[in-house]
Amino acid sequence: MKFAVIRFPGSNCDQDCQRSIDALPGASAEYVWHKETSLAGYDAMVLPGGFSYGDYLRCGAIARFSPIMPAVRAAAAEGKLVIGICNGFQILCEAGLLPGALVRNEKLHFVCRDTWLRVETAETPFTNRCAAGDILKIPVAHGEGRYTADTETLAELNANGQVVLRYTEANGQVSPAANPNGSMENIAGVCNAARNVFGLMPHPDRATEQRLGSEDGRVIFESMLNLSYVA
């Protein structure tokens, strides 16, 4: 399976993503520069973390107008897999490919630490190798990760099982203390209605090796590699 890791100016987790994915059996990951306009030949698109365009104005606000974005949009429409991690999630929200928005952390500080995530649904191409209720230990690192959406949108997300990950305690309890940024309903990751576009603030790309403290992030990419999965 061929992954495109899209490099925006200011991306800084591009290497971490490329290496963690490329190391998986059956996966190969290549960089695609944001000035490109085609994603032909790629099965999955990764929008990595970082500070695209310095995150000036709003995180992802400028990147979403990059030359590559129409191709990302088209790939999403074709049903190809698109995952946005951290800044990538922010870009996908700004581009309207995912509902809601990510705003300044409630405590106003950048926060870098481990978080525990409860898998809310295994019915996505990104979590099909998990079981609903599984707890993943994956770190966050962001200043603007507070997920926000209006009440209707939230209701809809919950109704359609589009909330994929929530911040919880290690034991799976949803609590304010477990929420690193004040996200509504402790939401850490959501997918679109068609379930082929997924955004999350935590960094699975930073949790694929025991030496880094956790391997729990790998299951996200392994799920994407699971060709036998049909929605």
Q: Could you tell me which stretch among 101-109, 115-123, 170-178, 193-201 binds another protein (CB under 8 A)?
A: 101-109
Would you say 72 or 101 has its CB closer to another protein?
A: 101
Q: Shortest distance, CB of residue 10 to another protein, whole angstroms?
A: 5
Q: Shortest distance, CB of residue 112 to another protein, whole angstroms?
A: 5
User: Looking at beta carbons, which pairs linking 214-221 to residues 24 or more positions away fall under 8 Å?
Assistant: 214/114, 214/136, 214/137, 214/138, 214/139, 216/136, 216/137, 216/138, 217/20, 217/136, 217/138, 218/20, 218/24, 219/127, 219/129, 219/130, 219/136, 220/83, 220/126, 220/127, 221/20, 221/21, 221/24, 221/27
Q: Of 150-169, which residues contact another protein (CB under 8 A)?
A: 150
Strand partners, 111: 142
Helices 218-225 + 14-22 axis angle, to 10: 60
Residue 34 near residue 45, CB atoms below 8 Å: no
Q: Shortest distance, CB of residue 173 to another protein, whole angstroms?
A: 19
Q: Which two tokens stand for residue 213?
A: 């403290």
Please, where are the H alpha helices in the chain? Answer: 14-22, 69-77, 87-94, 151-159, 218-225
Q: Say whether residue 73 binds another protein (CB under 8 A).
A: no
Would you say 9 or 43 has its CB closer to another protein?
A: 9
Site string for another protein, 171-210 (x = CB under 8 A): -----------x--------------------x-xx--x-
Q: Shortest distance, CB of residue 17 to another protein, whole angstroms?
A: 10
Q: Shortest distance, CB of residue 141 to another protein, whole angstroms?
A: 4
Q: Could you tell me which stretch among 15-23, 75-83, 188-196, 218-226 binds another protein (CB under 8 A)?
A: 15-23
Residue 85 near residue 17, CB atoms below 8 Å: yes
Of 36, 61, 134, 135, which lies in the binding site for another protein, with binding defined by CB under 8 A?
61
Q: Would you tell me how many other CB atoms lie within 10 Å of the CB of residue 156?
A: 14
Q: Say whether residue 226 binds another protein (CB under 8 A).
A: no
Q: Say whether residue 221 binds another protein (CB under 8 A).
A: no
Contacting positions for another protein (CB under 8 A): 9-10, 12-13, 15-16, 19-20, 49-51, 53-58, 61-62, 65, 93-94, 100-101, 103-104, 106-113, 139, 141, 143, 148-150, 182, 203, 205-206, 209, 211-213
